[in-house]
Amino acid sequence: MQPIPSLLIVDDDISAIRVLSKILHGLGQIRFATGGTQALKMIQQMRPDLILLDAEMPDLGGFEVCEAIKADPLLKDVPVIFITSHTEARVEEAGLALGAVDFIGKPVQPAIVTARVKTHLRLKIAIDQLSLLAQTDGLTGLANRRFLDQNIEREWSRARRNQEAFSLLMLDIDFFKRYNDCYGHLQGDECLIAVAHAVKACVQRSTDLVARYGGEEFAVLVPGTGAQGACQLGEEIVQHVRAQNRPHETSDYGRVTVSVGVASLEAGALPHAQSGATGAKGAPVLAQALLAEADRALYQAKHDGRNCSRFVPIQLGL
């Protein structure tokens, strides 16, 4: 079942909002803003599937709003349709050059608005589905390594900018090569899926991300969480996997277990970053550096006998 699309109408004319709301009734969940500044705040919060944007508004014009949307990596793919009484070719060209997907002149024609909105919603849904496939591990259904790296970079930048806590967990199925040798690769895949479900069940917040890092390794990104919360999550994961009681006769523990490494940074521990800065290491290697910190803790867990969780503070010199 597809989620209900969300549409945002942005216009300083209340009567125009009423007209468009009536036309679009039944196509999705409709919200509205009466100014550009208000619109940008709402867009950050709700991330709509489609924006219908008036080109001229008193506080912040539609072109400026569109430019801000397209400059934000998290919002740049949200389709924008300009609704304006200015139908000159140069105005339309300017709007499309900013990244808008369509241009509708006022007074609006209900059938035209409906048809174009339906078309762009279908395209948005199709693109989202393709994007989801590109971000998902085919076996476990978790996020894949590429999506994990992107989120680590984004959340680390946010932590620096807002002086927030940041934690990253790495975990490894203990003696997994022995498991595959003993039970076969098909059962090995079933084991990976079961562990993925166990880890996912321990993560409650929508802002957290569980990913398959590769092979029998997984990662959990928990932004806004310091050492105490992250260590508690690490212990929960160890216990939850152990409680599945999945037989592993060649393991030292007789059942499937995991080792977990926790790396954390407390709120306010970093110097303020300038807008857009990712730190001295730069975005291309940032995810690898942070994952290496969690891997240090994972190594310690393995060294201490596996089937446990260990912690290290993040030390990147950023």
pTM of the predicted model as reported, rounded to 2 decimal places: 0.69
Q: Is 216 a catalytic residue?
A: yes
Beta pairing, strands 80-84 & 29-33: unpaired
What architecture does CATH give domain 6-135? 3-Layer(aba) Sandwich (3.40)
Per-residue burial over 100-126, b = 16 or more CB atoms within 10 Å of its CB, e = otherwise: bbbbbbbebeeeebbebbeebbeebee
**What are the structural domain ranges in the chain?**
6-135, 145-313
Give, in order, the Cα–Cα distances in Å from 25 to each of 17, 219, 284, 285, 289. 12, 42, 44, 47, 49
Q: Report pLDDT for 272.
A: 59
CA angle at 42 for the pair 41 and 44, rounded to the nearest 5° = 70
Q: DSSP code of 207?
A: T
Across the chain, which has 318 residues, the per-10-residue mean pLDDT values are: 87 96 96 96 92 93 95 89 90 93 94 96 91 91 93 87 92 98 97 98 92 97 96 98 97 97 89 48 67 96 97 81
How far is 96 from 167, CA to CA, in rounded Å? 40
User: Hey, which CATH number is domain 145-313, 3.30.70.270, 3.40.718.10, 3.40.30.10, 3.20.20.370?
Assistant: 3.30.70.270
**Options 153, 155, 216, 293, the catalytic residue:** 216
Task: Yes or no: say if 203 and 220 are a contact pair by the CB < 8 Å rule.
Answer: yes
CA angle at residue 69 from 166 to 28, to 5 degrees?
95
Distance of alpha carbon 252 from alpha carbon 37, whole angstroms: 60
pLDDT at position 1: 60
Q: What pLDDT was estimated at residue 203?
A: 95
The Cα 126–Cα 180 span in angstroms is: 37
**What confidence score (pLDDT) does residue 132 get?**
82
> Can you say whether the dihedral through the CA atoms of 45, 142, 299, 301 is positive or negative?
positive
